[in-house]
Amino acid sequence: MTDNVQYPDLVIVGAGLFGLTVAQQAVERAGARVHIIDVRDHIGGNAYSYFDKETGAEIHKYGAHLFHTSNKRVWEYVNRFTEFTNYVHRVYATHDGVVYPLPINLGTINQFFGASYTPDEARKLIEEQAGELAGTDPQNLNDKGIQLIGRPLYEAFIKNYTGKQWQTDPADLPADIIKRLPVRFNYDNRYFKDTWEGLPKDGYTAWMERMIDDPRITVSLKTDFFDESQPYNKKALLAAGVPVVYTGPVDRYFDYELGDLKWRTVDFKEVRYDEDDHFGCPVMNYSDADVPYTRAIEFKNFNPERHDSQNHEKTVVWEEYSRFAERGDEPYYPINTDEDKALYAKYAEKAAAEPKVVFGGRLGTYKYYDMHNVIDTALTAFDEQVLPLIAK
């Protein structure tokens, strides 16, 4: 089946943001012919979205995706393919039946303690509540959280949420998972602090489709790179010397020969309500241990500007459950223990020895990236690694 195949100048494995960015750049800047394959039935990777027929809401199939960046190069690049709304992300958390704003800010603190602290008074309170851990360098997440924001706030908003998220007691997690917990001593409850923020006006998938709207870019979906019955498989491409950009799991590329890298995954439970608006916000965190999911997403509330095209008698909510991934699950977040980092370093050595393969994206480099990071690394990888392979 792979005989007499006329291969393109570049094959990209994975139609996520990294692969799409490289494809777009390869066509625009090198005049290359590019073929993209993806094992899924859609482009866009984890940023893929679709519109729910019943409610009119744009569903982010792999969990909430929110675009924000302070990188001017990335912002100018993405605005070539989509306009953005003026959406500003704000998160709320339910604790003991009361809703609070997050990240923890002066409003959260004063509401939680039933007080009217000034910024200086709130700072002093937090320092006092760190207790014996103040000024120390804790090595586990539990003690680090107490040191950073004091015991009461940590136990209310972080401890149980983190335990659910990692399926592990925070006392058994490394401190560097949180590194720092921001506390704002003003009433700013904007979640991100980046220069630019918004959501694509006509949806994520429309944005991604525009990126590869060029006859020199072709796409094969439901196509497995490791399936030797289809022509764009690993063995055939390497034998033919075709340059490859690989954005799948790096351990899978090498047939897990050094062992499996560990990930967390996310399961979603859909709930539909016979009402216009269930939460009054897009994301509600659940900080208490007796609620089994970490948060709930009400997609309709990401796009109030679409009010006229939405059903105001129905809404859809996804509850989000976190667990350790097994082989075959969708990998979302790298676990990144010292053992995993050491294992990835060995795989990275092997990857560097593949002369015509560029590894990229979240799965290919075992890193968690926001969308703007993926695009930035893709633009850099194209300049430094891909262009030299395809330059004519």
Residue linked to tokens 């679709």: 50
pLDDT computed for residue 1 by the predictor: 46
Furthest-apart CA atoms within the chain: distance in Å: 76
Q: What residues act catalytically?
A: 180, 184, 264, 295, 320, 368, 370
pLDDT computed for residue 120 by the predictor: 98
CA–CA separation, 166 vs 264, rounded Å?
8
| Whole-number average pLDDT of the chain | 95
**What's the pLDDT tens digit per position in 341-382?**
999 999 999 999 999 999 999 999 999 999 999 999 999 999
Please check whether residue 93 lies inside any domain of the structure: no
CA–CA separation, 214 vs 201, rounded Å?
22
- Does 182 score more than 80 pLDDT? no
Note whether 235 and 360 are same-domain residues: yes
| Segment 312-334 mean pLDDT | 95
Burial class (CB in 10 A: 0-12, 13-18, 19+), 254: middle
CA–CA separation, 119 vs 125, rounded Å?
10
pLDDT computed for residue 103 by the predictor: 93
What is the chain's length?
A: 392
Please check whether residue 274 lies inside any domain of the structure: no
Q: Which of 246, 128, 253, 111 is nearest to 187 (CA)?
A: 111
CA angle, residues 43, 66, 95, in degrees to nearest 5: 130
Note whether 250 and 350 are same-domain residues: yes
| Segment 24-42 mean pLDDT | 98
Note whether 165 and 216 are same-domain residues: no
| Segment 34-50 mean pLDDT | 98
Note whether 168 and 132 are same-domain residues: yes
**What's the pLDDT tens digit per position in 233-255?**
999 999 999 999 999 999 999 99
Distance of CA 321 to the CA centre of its chain: 15
Please check whether residue 273 lies inside any domain of the structure: no
| Segment 57-79 mean pLDDT | 98
Note whether 346 and 204 are same-domain residues: yes
Note whether 16 and 78 are same-domain residues: yes
Residue 250: give its domain's CATH number: 3.40.50.720
Bridge partners, 35 (sequence order): 11, 218
pTM, two decimals, is: 0.94
pLDDT computed for residue 3 by the predictor: 59
CA–CA separation, 183 vs 100, rounded Å?
14
| Segment 279-305 mean pLDDT | 97
Note whether 31 and 137 are same-domain residues: no
Please check whether residue 275 lies inside any domain of the structure: no
Confidence of residue 277 (pLDDT cuts 50, 70, 90): very high
- Does 156 score more than 60 pLDDT? yes
CA angle, residues 80, 63, 71, in degrees to nearest 5: 35
- Does 90 score more than 60 pLDDT? yes
| Segment 293-316 mean pLDDT | 97
pLDDT computed for residue 47 by the predictor: 97
286 close to 296: Cβ distance less than 8 angstroms: yes
CA–CA separation, 51 vs 56, rounded Å?
6
Note whether 128 and 162 are same-domain residues: yes
Note whether 172 and 134 are same-domain residues: yes
- Does 180 score more than 70 pLDDT? no
Number of domains in the chain: 2
pLDDT computed for residue 2 by the predictor: 52
Q: Which pair of structure tokens corresponds to residue 322?
A: 């976190």
Which of 26-30, 35-39, 172-176, 343-347 shows the lowest mean pLDDT across its residues?
A: 172-176
Bridge partners, 273 (sequence order): 315
Which residues form the domain of 384? 10-84+200-258+334-390
Pairing of strands 315-324, 263-273: antiparallel
Instruction: Determine what percent of the chain is predicted with pLDDT higher than 90.
Output: 88
